[in-house]
Amino acid sequence: MKKNRKIVLASRPTAWVEEGNFRLEECDIPQSGPGQVLVRNRWLSLDPYMRGRISDAPSYAKPVAIGEVMMGGTAGEVIESKHPGFAPGDAVVGALGWQLFGVADGGALRKVDAGTIPLSAWLGPVGMPGVTAWVGLHDICAPKSGETVVVTAASGAVGSVVGQLAKLGGARAVGIAGGPDKCRYVVEELGFDACIDYKAGNLRADLKAAAPDGIDCLFENVGGELFDTLLARMKPFSRIALCGLISQYNSAPWPLKNIGAVLINRIRMQGFIVTDDLSRWPPALRELGPLVASGRLKYRESIADGLAAAPAALISLLKGGNFGKQLVRL
């Protein structure tokens, strides 16, 4: 009989995540109960927030328990359904975690059209990262035509969508990314107006050249010294959508030197979590779906092969080793 394979949290990291913090286990395929659906996961999404879930520091969500299957977004196909809304063969997305097979209540799964849009993209530009970009840009930054939007981690799952949506709305999009290859992609493939390689060592001068009048909207994904430098170039009455602080997920917080800019320039800054208001998901997906299906919104994926590759791929993502949405093909 076929078996399930899953990765559980073996221990909590104290600083950098290590592969030894995870353990691969074999077990029986779970049985579905009334109202439930058994899914064969085909794609696993790896995301920076996972660093928070394997720590027991206070946060907005409950941590994964030791010995529990590692949590994560998944896309796959229905094998068996005891829910009237699903049939074998349906393509679904859910949060079934780091495992080949999973069972969920029908209400916790979403049927998707894997014919028009590839199944993996439902975890990227038309999934949680895409909705994050849409919500932060529209509901917090709200750029007007002609304004300058700066986004950090610009080649990544969230950042790549932010800049493209900003351009579609008539704003100027300036990306910040690590290295010439990522920056070339951001400008040449994604169509941003400019991209600054923050690793090149000329951040202040490059920023002045790319945003000579200052920044109207900052979509912040990174934090730390980079964010501190950007704060000093914000315009009066500008907005910051504080989406993530990936540079600090494995290290001590960076003490901000330029926080005074928030007061002097009356900057409005708001942190947000994509699941804060679930009523924003349908309008976001209604806009993102056709853009991705028609090829007008581009995306790129970093794919690791096989469940066993997930821990190393997560560690690489947390070090900036990914180039585009990080996935595991199961």
Ligand X SMILES: NC(=O)c1ccc[n+]([C@@H]2O[C@H](COP(=O)([O-])OP(=O)(O)OC[C@H]3O[C@@H](n4cnc5c(N)ncnc54)[C@H](OP(=O)(O)O)[C@@H]3O)[C@@H](O)[C@H]2O)c1
Positions in the binding site for ligand X (CB under 6 A): 47-49, 129, 132, 153, 155-159, 177-178, 182, 221-222, 243-244, 246-247, 272-274, 317-320, 322, 325
* Least distance (Å) between residue 255 CB and ligand X: 16
* Least distance (Å) between residue 295 CB and ligand X: 20
Number of neighbouring beta carbons within 10 Å of residue 16: 13
Nearer to ligand X, 29 or 285 (CB): 285
Amino acid identity, residue 257?
A: K
Q: Please report, in angstroms and rounded to a whole number, the separation of the first and last CA atoms in the chain.
A: 19
* Least distance (Å) between residue 152 CB and ligand X: 7
* Least distance (Å) between residue 53 CB and ligand X: 11
Sign of CA dihedral 212, 215, 219, 223: positive
Nearer to ligand X, 129 or 163 (CB): 129
Nearer to ligand X, 59 or 116 (CB): 59
* Least distance (Å) between residue 285 CB and ligand X: 15
Q: State the Cα–Cα distance between residues 197 and 213, nearest whole angstrom.
A: 19
The residue whose two tokens read 């077990």 is 27
Q: State the Cα–Cα distance between residues 221 and 156, nearest whole angstrom.
A: 10
Nearer to ligand X, 72 or 156 (CB): 156
Q: State the Cα–Cα distance between residues 152 and 219, nearest whole angstrom.
A: 7
* Least distance (Å) between residue 136 CB and ligand X: 7
DSSP letter string over 276-311?
Answer: S-GGGHHHHHHHHHHHHHTTSS---EEEEESGGGHH
3-class secondary-structure state, position 236: strand
Nearer to ligand X, 102 or 324 (CB): 324
Nearer to ligand X, 247 or 265 (CB): 247
* Least distance (Å) between residue 43 CB and ligand X: 15
Paired with 103 in beta bridges are 38
* Least distance (Å) between residue 192 CB and ligand X: 13
Q: State the Cα–Cα distance between residues 232 and 229, nearest whole angstrom.
A: 6
Q: State the Cα–Cα distance between residues 329 and 306, nearest whole angstrom.
A: 6
Q: State the Cα–Cα distance between residues 91 and 78, nearest whole angstrom.
A: 7
* Least distance (Å) between residue 330 CB and ligand X: 19
Nearer to ligand X, 29 or 70 (CB): 70
Nearer to ligand X, 74 or 265 (CB): 74
**Based on the number of CB atoms within 10 Å of its own CB, is 284 exposed (0-12), middle (13-18) or buried (19 or more)?**
buried
Nearer to ligand X, 97 or 163 (CB): 163
Paired with 5 in beta bridges are 26
Q: State the Cα–Cα distance between residues 300 and 51, nearest whole angstrom.
A: 22
**Based on the number of CB atoms within 10 Å of its own CB, is 146 exposed (0-12), middle (13-18) or buried (19 or more)?**
exposed
Nearest to 217 by CA among 152, 156, 278: 152
